[in-house]
Amino acid sequence: MAGDGTDQRALQYEQTLMYGRYTQELGVYAKEEAARLRESGQRKSISATRNLDLLEYNKGRCAKCRICTVRCQKFLISRVGEDWIFLILLGLVMALVSWAVDFCIAICLQAQKWMYGGLDSNVFLQYLAWVTYPVVLITFSAGFTQILAPQAVGSGIPEMKTILRGVVLKEYLTFKTFVAKVIGLTCALGSGMPLGKEGPFVHIASLCAALLGKFMSLFGGIYENESRNIEMLAAACAVGVGCCFAAPIGGVLFSIEVTSTFFAVRNYWRGFFAATFSAFIFRVLAVWNKDEETITALFKTRFRLDFPFDLQELPAFAVIGIASGFGGALFVYFNRLIVQFIRKQKAINRFLMKKRLLYPALVTLLISTLTFPPGFGQFMAGKLTQKEALVTLLDNRTWAKQGIAEEFDYIGNSQAWKHPHVNVFVTLVLFIVMKFWMSALAITIPVPSGAFMPVFVIGAAFGRLVGESMAAWFPDGIHMDGTIYSIVPGGYAVVGAAALSGAVTHTVSTAVIVFELTGQISHILPVMIAVILANAVAQSLQPSLYDSIIRIKKLPYLPELGWGHHEKYNIRVEDIMVRDVRYITLNCCYRDLHNVLLTGHLKTLALVETAESMILLGSIERAQLQSLLSQQLGRPRRMEYIKEQATADKKRLSVISNPCSEDSSHRASQEVRFQISTEESSFSPTRPASQKPLKPALKRVSVVERPTELPTSPHDNSGMALKNLFCASPDAEGLEDDVDVEDDMTIREIAEWEEKQLDEQVNFNNCKIDPAPFQLVERTSLHKTHTIFSLLGLDHAYVTSIGRLIGVVSLKELRKAIEGSVTVKGVKVRPPLASFRDSGTSSSETEATELHKLWDRHKSISLPQDHMPSESDEKSQ
Amino acid sequence: MAGDGTDQRALQYEQTLMYGRYTQELGVYAKEEAARLRESGQRKSISATRNLDLLEYNKGRCAKCRICTVRCQKFLISRVGEDWIFLILLGLVMALVSWAVDFCIAICLQAQKWMYGGLDSNVFLQYLAWVTYPVVLITFSAGFTQILAPQAVGSGIPEMKTILRGVVLKEYLTFKTFVAKVIGLTCALGSGMPLGKEGPFVHIASLCAALLGKFMSLFGGIYENESRNIEMLAAACAVGVGCCFAAPIGGVLFSIEVTSTFFAVRNYWRGFFAATFSAFIFRVLAVWNKDEETITALFKTRFRLDFPFDLQELPAFAVIGIASGFGGALFVYFNRLIVQFIRKQKAINRFLMKKRLLYPALVTLLISTLTFPPGFGQFMAGKLTQKEALVTLLDNRTWAKQGIAEEFDYIGNSQAWKHPHVNVFVTLVLFIVMKFWMSALAITIPVPSGAFMPVFVIGAAFGRLVGESMAAWFPDGIHMDGTIYSIVPGGYAVVGAAALSGAVTHTVSTAVIVFELTGQISHILPVMIAVILANAVAQSLQPSLYDSIIRIKKLPYLPELGWGHHEKYNIRVEDIMVRDVRYITLNCCYRDLHNVLLTGHLKTLALVETAESMILLGSIERAQLQSLLSQQLGRPRRMEYIKEQATADKKRLSVISNPCSEDSSHRASQEVRFQISTEESSFSPTRPASQKPLKPALKRVSVVERPTELPTSPHDNSGMALKNLFCASPDAEGLEDDVDVEDDMTIREIAEWEEKQLDEQVNFNNCKIDPAPFQLVERTSLHKTHTIFSLLGLDHAYVTSIGRLIGVVSLKELRKAIEGSVTVKGVKVRPPLASFRDSGTSSSETEATELHKLWDRHKSISLPQDHMPSESDEKSQ
């Protein structure tokens, strides 16, 4: 009773303290708390009801208040586990963040305009203001991100793609990263550089979901489940896009296309729910802020509904699609080229590594100089912000006829496209070309930033260019009979925007995003056609921007099978698997373990029954084996041994009858042991032991000839095995071992003892074994293997044939096989092996042969067993 | 050379013949052809180039023509393998089918109207015409479908869902079914019953894809790949919805939600590509047919863009969503109730089974009587077809103010809602109520039909009702300041339609379909909110309509994990697995095989190393084992035995030196054998042999006491084992065996010989073994198991612990555990087992213990082997 009371108080105390601790150590704290809650979970649920009754009689004035608190807590804990509460909270938080970021960005941009406008008396001062402002902001953003959390740099979609595949990226989902990303992003976009907020928002939403999950796990247990967390992260990605563009459907689809390989349809509603709620709040905030009268699209268009486009305009849309495909591929290639160029130039690289903030500053200076409105900027609508540019590009009216001033009232921004001496076509072309390389360059700046929006604007400009050309070519429209329907260049801009952004990101759902952004779906067919064509072209030329970044950053990710992957159906696992598997047997000795750990670098090792049968029993993690080995050779065990030795010595001293015979037998057996152990380790499972043939042999020799020589230095022999293993910090290990050299044993004795220990059979009792590692068959196709790997998020899979381990396939081999260009051990993988094979029925034969072997082996093993009578009986027939 | 020529000619001949054979036996023909092509594939590719050169010198006048043909063929074969050609063909065919079906339906409906209109002098004749026409059409449709392909009945989405999960449903994808479905659907919809075309179109598109795939496999080999076929079927489902509503995006999403559990994002583009192309062609056909001026939406709306709805209208939209959720659940429940009622009433059922066409006729009669426009139909807009009703419901104008006659010109159909004496609200309510039960009843008629469109119309009517009420309540709109924005009831109709159809099908993508159907996306937020709320309500009350049909039809499908499935994370495989696994050992004898096959009914059996080790080596199909057994006991082997016996007899006759000792030893050994075999089979792996304990014992006794009695009839003993096995046709088997009784052996001898054969060890050499059946661990959670089963389309998985087989989980157990209501062996699965468990670390302990056992066993086995010295050495330390 009293215990329960203090428990309760302690909980309340912790919960008030929590906010104080939140910022810095939530991770550890949440874990501890969750563990505590889990342990006391059942006890509490039983005692909670008792609490309620007992508290009635409790001393103190606030008994009622407490009962109420307890009841509220109970209710909260029971309800808070529901997914929808989590999703609503996530949506709400993200909408607020998105709105706040937008608000801050708008203020920043206004400030720049105001400064630039106020100084119009002096062009030089104007230029200084125009240039300094973004340089300062970008430099601050880069520096802030660098210091607080370098993981926040870039878009974050490649990382999320990797995380959703099941890979744990360190520090990518922490509060620090959240702060760095939000503030860094606001500053970066406030500078007016051609950067986007959509990629970072995917990351921010995921961060939000991860932090919210940790926070919610204080109330209930289900937030600890890993698969649930991944489901929530997938929903969060949708929220990120959804609240960035107020595009719930497009957000869900885009996030699926960009982050998932296989999508669980049961998570679909989560994304929709959270993204809709988030988009709703995001737009409601705008209404409350009196920016809008009601909830409408972000970039509302006003195209006519009755005749949106003519059938005969479709070829023009198709051209936009194809050209966008090439443009998108070029953008990705160009971006990669810049990164690789900077990396390769050692001198530049070394200089930039020292002065990390110089590169952002230089790039910003270059870009902002070129867009300076009184300078070159006047030929490329340089004074417009990204948002303003997009609004004018999606405009309803036709520019080519110079009939800009018609019935609409916001002429202001459209004026920027009109230059007194230069044609609007030239302005558009310059805008496209300049923005193209500027965007590709800008997204290499190490600040939190995305590429979607810049690409979107470039695409819109390209579409507008085609549209204006069409309008100039057919001033009265193409339609023949009856009413004149003039061409709407704004519709072309919509198509171009969707096509180019689709080409760069390799997604089809940009079409949906465009509909939601503009609030009109009348151009659905042109948009779909252009997006599909752009995707077809871009996907056959280059990886998507995100995959390109994944490759540049060398993140552990499995590439997609491309559009035409027929040959993938013909490659089998046996073509790509590594036949030389590191394994340990059930009856191996510690020396084998040691050797295996020395030669391989895989994270997990296969456990087979015997080296002959090779029946796969499970897999063990490397760390587990290392701990086994260190236990066996560790100090505690040695001390035990010394104690035993001491008691044995005492006994020997007391019973001194026949010392010599015992000793000699002991020594003889030991020598026999060495001989045999040598034999056995030549037969040891680690076949590639020949890679390091000298060391083990030397070591063994030195021990066998033990009376002849003393080791020269204590570092040579003591803890040898251990030192070889943990070579990362050999000195520390050596020192530790050196310390206890003095306590009771000489170095030689320790070495000797270790050698003895190494020859003992391994006891796997306390070892955690994965009893069902994933298995494939030799004839599994590459296509199926890829599917399974990406479905289950595997890192490696064993290839077995009727229980026998014959190979292993890891992500690396698979990636090589898919990318095709890399060869496996000198042989180009794809065509030679795949083409020689007939898809006939040889599989059953080989299986039968394998089985036969196993069967024969089994017969010979089971011969001396209890099945013998029946077998002899059979032979007698 | 000459051979090549004839080959070529044969191919051409076959290809001209092909169309003739196409209609009736494409299935078999395609398979044969594919097999032939596969075999000759490499030979051809080598010889094809040679052909080209050699043909130049060939005699005959059309050499050039031939070269051209060969070249074209080569090009076709190389190109035809591309996915996009397949998808374009699929889209084209489906667009044509969709348009043709629509055209025919329109003609049918016009004919009915014409008949009804022409007879307006006599109400009775009018009624007769109004009623007879649909009854005849529906009866014809039902009869035609019944005769040609009963698989074509119903929507087809449940079946496609099952097929895409990997289950092979017989005859569901044949040409017969295609014909039955298309013609049946056209007639059914032409009758004017409240039926939809969307579900059947999913099925038709899949049929198209399957047939097209078979047809294309004549050209290339990749069309035989099963996983590719499933990918194409998934795309086909998207095409089905896409070309039905001219809604490519919604089609793709709807098909994903409705048919998939896990969706491969790499198939996404396929669906988009094919659906877009199909929708494009579908709408272009309408333009060419001069129905439309250009490509626009199917049910185009003209809501205002600048202020689509007020924020304060959102509660009304939410109410529509929630009410639609309840309505949708009610619809599914009601539909199931009707089916179950008809099934339960034995008398009705028997009568209906005899007169299969009576039920459709009666239902049609009832529905068409009630919609007769001069009768009750006048109160529920009975004279409108579904399409007309929908167009009027989505109308721009407000009815409540009776201001229908404004600027638009198609007043005609809207008049149907206006009754001189009855309020429009009453008409709407009656329409909703009547159509509700009519639709639920109509979709139980055994014709090809879907439920989407009727539900969509009911939803639109409900939305309209709410909208009109709102308009009557707030005649000047809700918005306070400035301009008056009146309420648009058509927007409410859009929201209602999306919400109700979403609730019935449990999909969110109806929202997208609605946007594409109406061509306006301005109501995105209300629609999304309503759809999500409707889904939330409906999913917590009832399964989706398709899942409900799956349950009614008892299709082999895995149910989804519901919205709140937290407790699923706590159930483990060990709670639901069947521990009593049927298995065979590697060294088992044919008798064990026989017993296992007799007792179990599983399709596959586990193959383990020995009964003690239980190490899982693979799984064997039942059919394989049966063929093994029949080979062993079959006539050819017996004849061989007889021959051997005869030669042995001859030898004995020639070498007559010591006959008696040999014979006695032979008999003695035989008797020993029987003794031992009895012992061994009591130790046999089929533990549940006690289910049929009498028969084997009796049989064995009758053989051991062989000299005492003769079997009374030849049926009793001959081919006993075989007969027990193939109990489906025991007489035929018996007769066949009877025939060769006379040839050389007596019945007794045969029985004896069979018993001998049964005791031989099984030779698995020619047996096809799946060497890597899917394995789970005891502690795999139900959630993960469900994921894996649905990801990989598994039917069963073995549960192993460090290689040892300890249980099996099949789809049945999983389904039971998920549905929760069903108990496994008397114990309610979910709460008791799940709650007792702490998520602690006991797993490693049990694993360790298991391993320990295995290790010990292994030690004892390997003791007499070559590892002995090292082990003894270890002991000596």
Q: What is the pLDDT of residues A37-50, one digit of tens each?
A: 444 444 444 444 44
Distance separating alpha carbons of residues A631 and A625, to the nearest angstrom = 10
Distance separating alpha carbons of residues B498 and B456, to the nearest angstrom = 7
pLDDT in tens, B793-848: 677 888 877 677 888 888 777 777 776 533 333 323 332 333 333 333 333 333 44
Q: Scanning every residue of chain B, which has its alpha carbon at the shortest distance from the alpha carbon of A613?
A: B609
Residue A771 has its nearest CB partner, among B222, B783, B801, at B801
**Chain B contact present for A276, CB below 8 A:** yes
Least Cα separation, residue B10 to chain A (angstroms): 24
Question: And the tokens for A422?
Answer: 């230069």
Least Cα separation, residue A331 to chain B (angstroms): 22
Strand partners, B98: none
Residue A222 has its nearest CB partner, among B248, B569, B772, at B569
Q: What is the pLDDT of residue A433?
A: 92
Q: What is the pLDDT of residue A366?
A: 92
Q: Which residues of B456-487 are buried (b: 16+ CB within 10 A; e: fewer)?
A: bbbbbbbbbbbbbbbbbebeebbbeeeeebbb
More confident residue, B665 or A118: A118
Among residues A237, A333, A728, which one has the least CA distance to residue A538? A333
Residue A63 sits at the vertex; the CA angle it makes with A61 and A65, to the nearest 5 degrees, is 105
Judge whether B470 and B492 are in contact, CB under 8 Å: yes
Q: What is the pLDDT of residue B222?
A: 53
**Chain A contact present for B847, CB below 8 A:** yes
Query: Which range, of A731-745, B78-92, B117-131, averages the lowest pLDDT?
Result: A731-745
Q: Which residues of A654-691 are buried (b: 16+ CB within 10 A; e: fewer)?
A: eeeeeeeeeeeeeeeebeebbeebeebbeebbbeebee
Q: What is the pLDDT of residue A182?
A: 93
pLDDT in tens, B266-289: 778 888 889 989 988 888 888 888
Distance separating alpha carbons of residues A111 and A136, to the nearest angstrom = 13
**Chain A contact present for B42, CB below 8 A:** yes
Cβ of A225 within 8 Å of Cβ of B536? The answer is no
pLDDT in tens, A644-672: 777 877 777 666 555 444 444 444 334 33
Cβ of A311 within 8 Å of Cβ of B296? The answer is no
Calculate mean pLDDT across residues B624-628. 79
Q: Is the pLDDT of residue A9 over 90?
A: no
Cβ of A769 within 8 Å of Cβ of B851? The answer is yes
Confidence label for A81 from pLDDT (cuts 50, 70 and 90): low
| Most confident by average pLDDT, A507-521, A806-820, B108-122, B662-676 | A507-521
Q: State in Å, rounded, how far the first CA of chain A is from the last one.
A: 79
Query: Which range, of A100-114, B491-505, B599-613, averages the lowest pLDDT?
Result: B599-613
Residue B162 sits at the vertex; the CA angle it makes with B159 and B164, to the nearest 5 degrees, is 110
Q: What is the dihedral of CA B126, B127, B131, B132, to 10 degrees?
A: -60
Cβ of B873 within 8 Å of Cβ of A262? The answer is no
Least Cα separation, residue B260 to chain A (angstroms): 7
* DSSP notation for A397-464: S-TTTT---SS-S-HHHHGGG--SSS-HHHHHHHHHHHHHHHHHHHTTSSSS-BSHHHHHHHHHHHHH
| Most confident by average pLDDT, A707-711, A794-798, B291-295, B778-782 | A794-798
Cβ of B269 within 8 Å of Cβ of A508? The answer is yes
Least Cα separation, residue B311 to chain A (angstroms): 6
Query: Which range, of A3-12, A582-591, B260-269, B312-321, averages the lowest pLDDT?
Result: A3-12
Q: Is the pLDDT of residue A184 over 90?
A: yes
Judge whether B184 and B141 are in contact, CB under 8 Å: yes
Mean pLDDT of chain A: 72
> Chain A neighbours among B 230-249 (CB < 8 Å)?
248-249
Q: What is the largest distance, in Å, between two alpha-carbon atoms of chain A?
A: 126
More confident residue, A165 or B404: A165
Among residues B176, B229, B209, which one has the least CA distance to residue B90? B209
> Chain A neighbours among B 553-582 (CB < 8 Å)?
560-561, 563-564, 566, 569
The burial class, CB within 10 Å (0-12 / 13-18 / 19+), for B230 is middle
Least Cα separation, residue B590 to chain A (angstroms): 12
> Chain B neighbours among A 492-531 (CB < 8 Å)?
508, 511-512, 515-516, 519-522, 524-525, 528-529
Q: What is the pLDDT of residue B317?
A: 93
Judge whether A294 and B311 are in contact, CB under 8 Å: yes
Distance separating alpha carbons of residues B558 and B815, to the nearest angstrom = 6
Chain B hits for A225, CB-CB cut-off 8 Å, are 569
Cβ of B791 within 8 Å of Cβ of A852? The answer is no
Least Cα separation, residue B307 to chain A (angstroms): 7
More confident residue, A599 or B100: B100
pLDDT in tens, A443-473: 888 899 888 999 999 999 999 999 988 888 8
Cβ of B528 within 8 Å of Cβ of A248? The answer is yes
Cβ of A610 within 8 Å of Cβ of B563? The answer is no
More confident residue, A574 or A173: A173
Distance separating alpha carbons of residues B382 and B373, to the nearest angstrom = 5
Q: What is the pLDDT of residue B810?
A: 81
Query: Which range, of A137-141, A150-154, B371-375, B571-575, averages the lowest pLDDT?
Result: B571-575
Cβ of A609 within 8 Å of Cβ of B269? The answer is no
The side-by-side arrangement of strands in the sheet containing B796-801 is B775-776, B796-801, B804-810
Cβ of B83 within 8 Å of Cβ of A787? The answer is no
Q: Is the pLDDT of residue A429 over 50?
A: yes
Q: What is the pLDDT of residue B844?
A: 37
Least Cα separation, residue A271 to chain B (angstroms): 11
Distance separating alpha carbons of residues A771 and B229, to the nearest angstrom = 34
The burial class, CB within 10 Å (0-12 / 13-18 / 19+), for B148 is middle
pLDDT in tens, A691-739: 333 333 333 333 333 333 333 344 434 344 444 444 333 343 444 444 4
Q: How many residues would you count in chain B?
A: 877
Q: What is the pLDDT of residue B412?
A: 64
Confidence label for B76 from pLDDT (cuts 50, 70 and 90): low
> Which segments within B481-610 are labelled E, that is strand?
583-585, 604-608
More confident residue, A97 or B561: A97
Contacts of B589 (CB under 8 A, 6+ apart): A870, B677, B680, B758, B759, B760, B761, B762
Half-sphere exposure of B407 (CA within 13 A, CB side): 2
> Chain B neighbours among A 698-717 (CB < 8 Å)?
none
pLDDT in tens, B175-231: 999 999 999 999 999 988 889 888 899 999 999 998 988 887 776 555 556 667 777
Q: What is the pLDDT of residue B332?
A: 94
The burial class, CB within 10 Å (0-12 / 13-18 / 19+), for A692 is middle
Which residue, among B224, B408, B508, B754, would best test binding to A if mutated, counting the most A CBs under 10 Å from its CB?
A: B508
Calculate mean pLDDT across residues B517-538. 90
Give the 3-state secondary structure of residue A771. Answer: coil
DSSP structural state of residue A150: G
Contacts 24+ apart (CB under 8 A), B601-604: B602/B796, B602/B810, B603/B795, B604/B770, B604/B773, B604/B796
> Chain B neighbours among A 80-109 (CB < 8 Å)?
81-84
Chain B hits for A769, CB-CB cut-off 8 Å, are 802, 847, 851
Distance separating alpha carbons of residues B184 and B171, to the nearest angstrom = 17
More confident residue, B339 or A15: B339
Residue A294 has its nearest CB partner, among B225, B309, B765, at B309
Confidence label for B256 from pLDDT (cuts 50, 70 and 90): confident
Chain A hits for B876, CB-CB cut-off 8 Å, are 669, 673
Interface contacts (A, B; CB < 8 Å): 336
Three-state SS for A177-223 is HHHHHHHHHHHHHHCCCCCECHHHHHHHHHHHHHHHHHHHCCCCCHH
Mean pLDDT of chain B: 72
Chain B hits for A862, CB-CB cut-off 8 Å, are 587, 610
Residue B307 has its nearest CB partner, among A294, A310, A759, at A294
Contacts of B630 (CB under 8 A, 6+ apart): B722, B725, B726
Distance separating alpha carbons of residues B160 and A614, to the nearest angstrom = 42
Least Cα separation, residue A260 to chain B (angstroms): 7
Q: What is the pLDDT of residue A741?
A: 43
Which residue, among A505, A524, A614, would best test binding to B if mutated, counting the most B CBs under 10 Å from its CB?
A: A524
pLDDT in tens, B657-713: 554 444 444 443 443 333 333 333 333 333 333 333 333 333 333 333 333 333 334
Type of residue found at A42: Q
Chain A hits for B809, CB-CB cut-off 8 Å, are none
Distance separating alpha carbons of residues A108 and A187, to the nearest angstrom = 8
> Chain A neighbours among B 412-451 (CB < 8 Å)?
none
| Most confident by average pLDDT, A99-113, B346-360, B568-582, B807-821 | A99-113
Question: Which single residue is written with the structure tokens 């230069």?
Answer: A422
Residue A776 has its nearest CB partner, among B508, B772, B803, at B772
Q: What is the pLDDT of residue A674?
A: 34
Q: Is the pLDDT of residue B7 over 90?
A: no
Type of residue found at A336: R
Distance separating alpha carbons of residues B870 and A589, to the nearest angstrom = 10
Query: Which range, of A166-175, A272-281, A832-841, B311-320, averages the lowest pLDDT?
Result: A832-841
Percent of chain A whose pLDDT exceeds 90: 17
Residue A75 sits at the vertex; the CA angle it makes with A71 and A78, to the nearest 5 degrees, is 140
